[in-house]
Structure 1
Amino acid sequence: MTRDEFNAFCASKAATSHVVQWGDADVWKVGGKVFAICGWADGRDAFTFKVTPLAFEVLQDQPGIRPAPYLASRGLKWLQHYDEPGLSDAELKTHIDVSYDLVASGLSKKKRLELGIPEPKNI
């Protein structure tokens, strides 16, 4: 996935906002809370997203995937796809979808209704 494809995919989700921060990282938020980041890793794009505890345990040691720098070191369940083979584009999109749902489900029902966010899927 390219950075442009990542940004287009994240922009297609309901009630998202985009900022560029942390040294040119594309940061995507829902309801003001981060759900996906495209930054850098050794000169190439790296994609960071929130995961379930099970996905964190299963994927964290896969080649091209690691616990997300900064976030995971603080006990948060975030992974970073930073190198090959990593995840396929379809798998990465699925994990970004789950990340969005995890973050959106943490918003109050009132906030979700205000933003027009669909009821979160069972995660």
Structure 2
Amino acid sequence: MRPSYEPAAGAVRGRVGTPDILSMLALEAALEVWDGVTVEAVRAKSLALTDFFLECVGAYVPEGRVSRVTPLAHGERGSQVALRCADAGDVMARLIERGVVGDFRHPDVLRFGFTPLYVGFAEVERAARVLAEVLA
């Protein structure tokens, strides 16, 4: 070790040997929120969110504008919904401009992910409503 400190160049400068105590305390508190939350509970909320999104899309989106790619059966899907849409790339760009962030897969698929640990039903409803507005 040298007597004077010389910081490294670039991102390497951020590496430290000892984690910052205040940061670790904040992390510990954030993780404690999830103590006692089971994988089964997370899965149940995931399915409830995706069911609700599909229900809202069915109620809000103009008939024939999208078709569902994601299976309805709970055992056949994860925590995302895929919809087929003729102008999916443009639609996703317009959704992102309005704060609804999903992704687009060529040639015509919109994908929406629902992370059950921090996405709520109000956000899911808003995503479906904004999708309907963009598609109207």
TM range (shorter): 0.3 to 0.5
When you count strand as a share of all residues, which structure comes out higher?
Answer: 1
**TM-score, structure 2 as length reference:** 0.37
Higher relative contact order (CA 8 A, sep 6+): 2
Q: TM-score, normalised by structure 1?
A: 0.40
Structure number with greater Rg is 2
